[in-house]
Each structure stands twice: as structure tokens, then as C-alpha cells.
A and B are shown apart, each in its own frame.
Chain A
Amino acid sequence: MQFWPMVGGLAKGLGTTTSIFCLTLLFSLPLGLLVALGRMSKFGALRQAMRLYISVMRGTPLMLQLFFFYFGPYYIFNLNLGKLGFWGLDYRFVAVVLGFSLNYAAYFAEIYRAGIESIPVGQREAGKILGFSRAQTFFRIVLPQVVKRILPPVTNEVITLVKDTSLAFALSVMEMFTIAKMEAAAHTTMVPFMVAGLFYYVFNFAVAAAMEWFEKRLDYYA
């Protein structure tokens, strides 16, 4: 086995890993907020639906969910999505991002909810007294304070996500772990795993540093 070509292959996989990571955050962070708001809605049906959603997403294996989104369209609707029409995207990749986004949205929703409920009701009341609409009160007064409070648990989830991206190997998406596994099998060596492990570690080190920087930036008030 040649070392540098192997590292090059892993680095390419790291690109895919990073795409899964970024797209998942892009979709799951806002979606989680919507789910949290639904979970706290005054409409009982919506509340129960979101409760069920969160419970299913958290109560079943993420890998099973990935399989569901990948095979579901074919087994259930007899749809063959092999290659999606737009941007020539591989449906495997789409299924992975879909599965991760929906799964992480459930976890983020519970973090948002805890954060929102931790803001004293007096903040909302002050907003109302000053004439802010409900939306203004939420986005200008409540949410910024929520963001500060939930950064530590969000950091935990984000770090878990970096590692969870390796589950995409189950659908043979060419991300870093899948490639490491193939290289290792082809050359009967542990080295690709060790290099991949190092890459994951550095990735998470950077994530933790970024989150810490963000936390510090919000340190200006108690």
C-alpha cells in the first residue's frame, strides 16, 4: 500500500464527510426550531405529532432510519430514485443527508425547547408590555438568550454528528469511513483507520474550538 495516495483518498472522503456534516446542520438546526415550536404549540394535535416525531427519531437506530430513507421509496412506493435528476445527485447521498437532518432535528428540538422554557416568563411579558409582537418578542428577546444557553448541549450534538457521519458507510456513500474501510480491507492494514481516526479527531478539535470561540463571544452578559 502506498501511504500518500491512501491519505489522498481519505482526504477526498473527508470532503464528502464535511458535506454531509454541513448540510445536516444547515437543515436540522432550523428544522429543530420548527419542531420545538410545534412541540410547544397550543394546538394539541400538532403538539402530539411533534412529540411522536421526536420519540420515534430518538427511539430507533439512526442506521435503521438511513435504511428507511434509502430503501423506503423503492420498497414502499416502488420508486427507483437511483440517480436523482437534479444536479446528478446520488440518491444515497440524499438519503443520508435526509436521514441525518430529520434525526438531528429531533435532538435539537429538545435542546431548543429546554432552552426556550428556561427563559423567565418576565422576558416575554416585558416584550409584550413594550408593544412587541409575538414574533418580535421571540426573535429579538427570547431566541438570542436561548442561543447562549444552549451552546454547550448543541456542541455535544455537533461533535456527535461528526462521528455519526461514518454511519453513511451503511449506504456505501463514499465518505471518509467507507473509504478507510475499503482501503483497510484491500491492503489488510490498520493504517487507514488510524489516519481516518486522526482526521475525525482534528475535525472535532476544530469544531470544539469554533464553538468555544462562539461561547466566548456571547460572554458579554451573564
Chain B
Amino acid sequence: MSAIPPDEMLVVEAVRKSFGGTQVLRDISFSVRRGEVFGIIGPSGSGKSTLLRCITQLERVSGGKIRVCGETMVSDAPDGTARYAPPAALRRMGLKIGLVFQNFNLFPHFSVLRNLTEAQIHVLKRPKDEATERALGLLKRMGLESKAGAYPCQLSGGQQQRVGIARALALQPEVLCFDEPTSALDPELTGEVLKVIRDLAERKMTMVVVTHEMDFARELADRILFMDGGVVVESGTADEVISRPKHSRTQSFLGRLRR
């Protein structure tokens, strides 16, 4: 336990995940350090979303190990099944990992402000004033201070996604995961969301970003993992993986993206 350096925020070891008979994740290992932007790329169906969903506990792994901030979330039991930590520990770890959804999943019946305060008040039990103050501060950072009273349906996709990011940040997670945060947006709106993520990177927020935006990944990611068919094909610095990929599968994937 104590051998793990404290700045390993997320450690994934030999994680496997099957749905019924189909094995979607076969053997995934990587670790994310504090303050790092970790990019995950790969073709459609390679299991990127499934991997994020396992890390954020929306899915249960079939096997392997996941550690969050030094605490074991799940590990292999001797009988070969996955052994999860007790519910209270899982909840605690869950709150350390935020997720920004591809399609935002904002709460349509709440104002923007309440989207940001609801969990602070009812999950973290923060006083309402404090929650509101934090929410307004975040909206300001997102350039959305004038939208606090608006409802999600009144916002553009780019604005909605920035609210989605602010909502996740309001709980002050240690690690923030993004599942293709811009792929549901019109091209002219991706920039404003990428700008927010860039700003978070400058503030040394630890992030795991699944993306199809290679230029963005190369610019921001400290390290990149390329996966295909549920396995890690290659990983390394952004430069290594995107500019000088070693594996032919990585090369052909990147080649296809460049057209």
C-alpha cells in the first residue's frame, strides 16, 4: 500500500469487462499522476467509453484492479471475480472522480445555478450560500455568469457542455474524466469547450480525456493511450503516440483521421 506514491491519482491494472459473452475490455493498464492530462484515443467501439464508465463506477468491471488516490476500489478476488470495496468506500471514491458526458446530461428541470448547487447541498451537505457562491464563481470562470437563471434548454450546446463541466467541478473531484466532450457539438462550438479544458489543464486539474480531437490531444495531453479491441496498443507521451506511432494499428488509425 505505502509503496504507491501519493501522486498516483488513478491506477488501472489489467482491467477486464464483458457484457454477457462479449469481452469489451480485455486487459487495460495505465496510471494517471496528479496534475496530468491523460488522453485516451482509439477507433469507435474500442471500449473507451466502457473504460471511463468502469472508472466512474457506472459499470462494474469483470476483473482487474482500480485504485483511486491510493485506495483500492476493486481488485481480483481469489476465485477470479472482481471484489469491490464496501459501499461507503465506493461512494467516497466515486466523489473523487467526476465525469463530463458526451451529451451533457444536464438536469432540464433545474436552472443552471441549481444544476451546480443541488449535489453540493444534498450530497456534500454544504450550506446553500456557500454552494451558491462556489457555483457562481465557476459559472464566471466558464463565461456563463449571465446564465445562472437560465434553463439548459435555453443554452447552446457549447454552453450546456460548459455547464456540465462546471457541475462536475462544483464537487471538487480529484480527477475529472471527459468522454468525447465536444463530439456532440457543432464544429464552431467545440472551441469554447476546449478552451475551458485548456484552462483547467493550466490550473493542473488531473484529467482523463477520451477524444477524437487529435490536435487538441497532442497540444494538451501529457500522455496518451491508444486502445483498440479492448487492449492498450500503445501508450506514451503525446508526441510519441501521435507524431511517431510505433504500431501499425496506431499508424493506420491516425492516418484514417488525417484522411
Contacts and interface: CB of A to CB of B under 8 A. Distances in A.
Interface of A: 120, 122-123, 125-126, 128-132, 136, 140-141, 144-145, 148, 220-222
Given A122-B101, A148-B109, A221-B152, A130 B58 contact: no
Contacts of B167: 130
A141 B107 contact: yes
A144 B107 CA distance: 10
Contacts of B109: 144-145, 148, 221
A2 to B, nearest CB: 54
A131 B91 contact: yes
Nearest to A120: B105
Residue in A120, A130, A131, A148 whose Cβ sees the most chain B Cβ within 10 Å: A130
A222 to B, nearest CB: 4
Contacts, number: 56
27 contacts: A120-B105, A122-B103, A122-B105, A123-B105, A126-B105, A126-B106, A128-B57, A128-B58, A128-B94, A129-B56, A129-B94, A129-B168, A130-B119, A130-B123, A130-B171, A131-B94, A131-B95, A131-B119, A131-B171, A136-B122, A140-B118, A141-B107, A145-B108, A145-B109, A221-B109, A221-B153, A222-B108
Nearest to B152: A221
Residue in A131, A136, A145 whose Cβ sees the most chain B Cβ within 10 Å: A131
B151 interface: yes
Interface string B44-81: 00000000000011100000000000000000000000
A220 B123 contact: no
Contacts of A144: 109
B157 interface: no
Interface string B98-122: 1101010111110000000011001
Nearest to A119: B108
Chain B interface extent, by class: 20 to 34
Nearest to B56: A129
A35 to B, nearest CB: 24
Contacts of B122: 132, 136, 140
Nearest to A148: B109
A132 to B, nearest CB: 6
Contacts of A128: 57-58, 94
Nearest to A141: B107
Contacts of B119: 130-132
A132 B98 CA distance: 13
Residue in A126, A128, A132, A136 whose Cβ sees the most chain B Cβ within 10 Å: A126
B58 to A, nearest CB: 6
A126 B99 CA distance: 8
B22 to A, nearest CB: 20
Contacts of B107: 123, 126, 141
Contacts of B118: 130, 140
A120 B103 CA distance: 11
A221 B151 contact: yes
Interface string B141-179: 000000000011100000000000001100100000000
Residue in B95, B106, B107, B124 whose Cβ sees the most chain A Cβ within 10 Å: B107
Contacts of B123: 130-132, 136
Contacts of B108: 145, 221-222
Contacts of A125: 58, 101, 105
Nearest to A122: B105
Nearest to A147: B109
A128 B118 CA distance: 13
B58 A126 contact: no
